[in-house]
Amino acid sequence: MLLTQDQEMIRDAVRAFAQEELWPNAAKWDKEHHFPKDAHQGLAHLGAYGICVPEEYGGANLDYLTLALVLEEIAAGDGGTSTAISVTNCPVNAILMRYGNEAQKRQWLTPLAQGEMLGVFCLTEPHVGSDASALRTTAVKEGDGFTAGPPQGETRPLGGQGGHVSAERGGDHYLINGVKQFITSGKNGHVAIVIAVTDKGAGKKGMSAFIVPTSAPGYGVARLEDKLGQNSSDTAQINFDNCRIPAENLIGAEGEGYRIALSALEGGRIGIAAQSVGMARSALDVAIAYAKDRQSFGTAIINHQAVGFRLADCATRLEAARQLIWHAAALRDAGRPCLKEAAMAKLFASETAEAVCSAAIQTLGGYGYVSDFPVERIYRDVRVCQIYEGTSDVQKIIIQRGL
Ligand SMILES: Cc1cc2nc3c(=O)[nH]c(=O)nc-3n(C[C@H](O)[C@H](O)[C@H](O)COP(=O)(O)OP(=O)(O)OC[C@H]3O[C@@H](n4cnc5c(N)ncnc54)[C@H](O)[C@@H]3O)c2cc1C
């Protein structure tokens, strides 16, 4: 597939920024668990926070293929930064664009697209990830005659009173209670889309989606996770403790939350796949440069066929992954179904990326295993791409259903 001139121009601008501002600092941010606010602002100026958002809401009004290009470049600079920006673009912006009303778009989508706010998506809970139909976080409308409080049996690791509140007010607010797990930008983000149960007896049709500013009383960071990688992006456990939000923050209608959440994951998976390729590309570039320089038995190691062929395999598989991503993105941009293709792209790209990063470590020998070279960090960073926005097993379920 060939890119348009505009797509190449945008890709090159983001690449230049990522190589100058992200790549030289990524190791330091990883060690210090630093969230690079300035770099985020720089990327926001380039339009990276609102790639597919229409201009009238402050976005760049571009397509999913361009979003994939941008995320590959950011990830090639720093994996953690690409994850935070990926979540903002999709699912957060994507949900607001498709299901938000005019007032919600003006109030939330515009500052998100312009980089004044970082988006957060709260679906996963401590006891449930892959099976999103089993959520326990509740949202109860005040005045409905319900008594609000934490869901039964829910844990609250760092306190939070979770006391019961009798519903006496007039139904213009919801009270959210529960715990969300592994939430990207849960601490550094500004506005969250939260999926919660509004009708316990209605299963998948009993969930709803809400806009929750992270400054809302009752939104609390219970714990920051100590992760294998991607340390420039925070991953938090969020405690909703009688978190009170206006009823106008409901997205769509009550009962549409499950459908809304899942619809956004399709585009999100294209983004994660692109991130995988970006990270692995950087590891491969380091390995190629090293293999041309490092000598053994009187020649550069790339001249040993075992090393040269390993790198050739990596480059080929990475290009195949990229083409799967571009194909899925092109289908989505054309308004055609791409659930299976997005799952294929995410499955293949994330698994290929880990294999490529492992091969890069192997190519550097002992130097691949120490932090003087970036490949060990990238290997740690890329691993989660096989887990978040649906594990590899979940992607296979989606692909199998589409056969
Ligand atoms: C760094 C990081 C960032 C994240 N960011 C976010 C975020 O911003 N928002 C958010 O909501 N979530 C986020 N997540 C959560 C992530 O999406 C979940 O971890 C993921 O969906 C898997 O859920 P789980 O961890 O509960 O695993 P489980 O669902 O418990 O799965 C455990 C294992 O069982 C397998 N399995 C489960 N069911 C099946 C099945 N039917 N068939 C075959 N195998 C199966 C899985 O593949 C996996 O190997 C993040 C996670 C991480 C690690």
What is the DSSP annotation of 277-302? HHHHHHHHHHHHHHHHH-EETTEEGG
Is the domain of 154 the same as that of 248?
yes
d(CA 151, CA 77) in angstroms, rounded, equals 41
389 is known as an active-site residue: yes
Q: Is 87 in the pocket of ligand 1 (CB under 6 A)?
A: yes
Beta strand ranges found along 233-367 (DSSP E): 235-246, 250-251, 295-296, 299-300
Question: Which structural domain, as residue segments, surrounds residue 276?
Answer: 259-401
Atom 38 of ligand 1 has which residue's CA nearest to it?
130
Tell me the DSSP string of 141-192.
ETTSS-EE-PPTT---TT------EE--S-SSEEEEEEEEEEEETTTT-SEE
Q: Is 194 in the pocket of ligand 1 (CB under 6 A)?
A: no
Ligand 1, atom nearest to 391 Cα: 47
Q: Which pLDDT score is estimated for 157?
A: 38
Q: Is 108 in contact with 95 (CB distance < 8 Å)?
A: no
pTM for the complete prediction? 0.94
Q: Is 384 in the pocket of ligand 1 (CB under 6 A)?
A: yes
CATH number of the domain to which 336 belongs: 1.20.140.10
Q: Which pLDDT score is estimated for 167?
A: 39
Q: Which pLDDT score is estimated for 264?
A: 86
Distance 186 CA to ligand 1 centre (A): 17
Is the domain of 170 the same as that of 249?
yes
d(CA 130, CA 6) in angstroms, rounded, equals 37
Is the domain of 200 the same as that of 114?
no
Distance 387 CA to ligand 1 centre (A): 6
Distance 178 CA to ligand 1 centre (A): 18
Helix (H) or strand (E) holding 270: helix 257-293
Is the domain of 238 the same as that of 249?
yes
Contacts of 14 by beta carbon, 8 Å cutoff, 6+ apart: 43, 46, 48, 69, 70, 73, 74
CATH number of the domain to which 175 belongs: 2.40.110.10
b/e burial code for range 21-47 (CB count within 10 A of at least 16 → b): bbeebbbebbeeeebbeebbebbbebb
Ligand 1, atom nearest to 186 Cα: 8
The tokens describing 124, both together, are: 């996963």
Residue type, 208: S
Q: Is 123 in the pocket of ligand 1 (CB under 6 A)?
A: yes
d(CA 153, CA 63) in angstroms, rounded, equals 43
Q: Is 243 in contact with 217 (CB distance < 8 Å)?
A: yes
d(CA 277, CA 86) in angstroms, rounded, equals 14
Q: Is 121 in the pocket of ligand 1 (CB under 6 A)?
A: yes
Is the domain of 16 the same as that of 113?
yes
Q: Is 79 in contact with 378 (CB distance < 8 Å)?
A: yes
Q: Is 321 in contact with 248 (CB distance < 8 Å)?
A: no
Please report, in tens digits, the pLDDT of each residue of the chain (403 residues total): 899 999 999 999 999 999 999 999 999 999 999 999 999 999 999 999 999 999 999 999 999 999 999 999 999 999 999 999 999 999 999 999 999 999 999 999 999 999 999 999 999 999 999 999 999 999 999 876 444 444 444 444 333 333 333 334 457 999 999 999 999 999 999 999 999 999 999 999 999 999 999 999 999 999 999 999 999 999 999 999 999 999 999 999 999 999 999 988 888 999 999 999 999 999 999 999 999 999 999 999 999 999 999 999 999 999 999 999 999 999 999 999 999 999 999 999 999 999 999 999 999 999 999 999 999 999 999 999 999 999 999 999 999 999 9
The DSSP code for 12 is: H
d(CA 314, CA 228) in angstroms, rounded, equals 23
Tell me the DSSP string of 42-86.
HHHHTTGGGTTS-GGGTS----HHHHHHHHHHHHHH-HHHHHHHH
**Domain stops at, among 58, 93, 119:** 119
Distance 130 CA to ligand 1 centre (A): 5
Could you give the number of structural domains in the chain? 3
d(CA 359, CA 13) in angstroms, rounded, equals 29
Q: Which pLDDT score is estimated for 317?
A: 98
Q: Which residue has 């809401």 as its token pair? A: 57
Ligand 1, atom nearest to 87 Cα: 8
Ligand 1, atom nearest to 233 Cα: 1
Q: Which pLDDT score is estimated for 164?
A: 37
Ligand 1, atom nearest to 390 Cα: 21
Q: Which pLDDT score is estimated for 147?
A: 46
Is the domain of 85 the same as that of 132?
no
Other beta carbons less than 10 A from residue 396's beta carbon: 14
Specify which residues 179 forms β-bridges with.
Answer: 239
Is the domain of 377 the same as that of 278?
yes
Distance 124 CA to ligand 1 centre (A): 8
Is the domain of 327 the same as that of 230?
no
CA dist 105 to 41, 61, 96, 112, 165, Å? 21, 14, 6, 10, 31
Is the domain of 320 the same as that of 361?
yes
Pocket test for ligand 1, best of 82, 123, 128, 388 (most atoms within 8 A of CB): 388
C-alpha 170, offset from chain centre: 37
Is the domain of 155 the same as that of 235?
yes
Is the domain of 156 the same as that of 228?
yes
**Domain stops at, among 75, 90, 119:** 119
Atom 43 of ligand 1 has which residue's CA nearest to it?
393
Distance 393 CA to ligand 1 centre (A): 10
Atom 22 of ligand 1 has which residue's CA nearest to it?
129
Atom 9 of ligand 1 has which residue's CA nearest to it?
183
Tell me the DSSP string of 213-245.
ETTSTTEEEEEE---SS-TTS-EEEEEEEEEEE
Is the domain of 294 the same as that of 324?
yes
> Out of 21, 142, 354, 389, which one is annotated catalytic?
389
Distance 388 CA to ligand 1 centre (A): 6
CATH number of the domain to which 36 belongs: 1.10.540.10
Atom 26 of ligand 1 has which residue's CA nearest to it?
129
Q: Is 393 in the pocket of ligand 1 (CB under 6 A)?
A: yes
Q: Is 385 in contact with 308 (CB distance < 8 Å)?
A: no
**Domain stops at, among 210, 237, 253:** 253
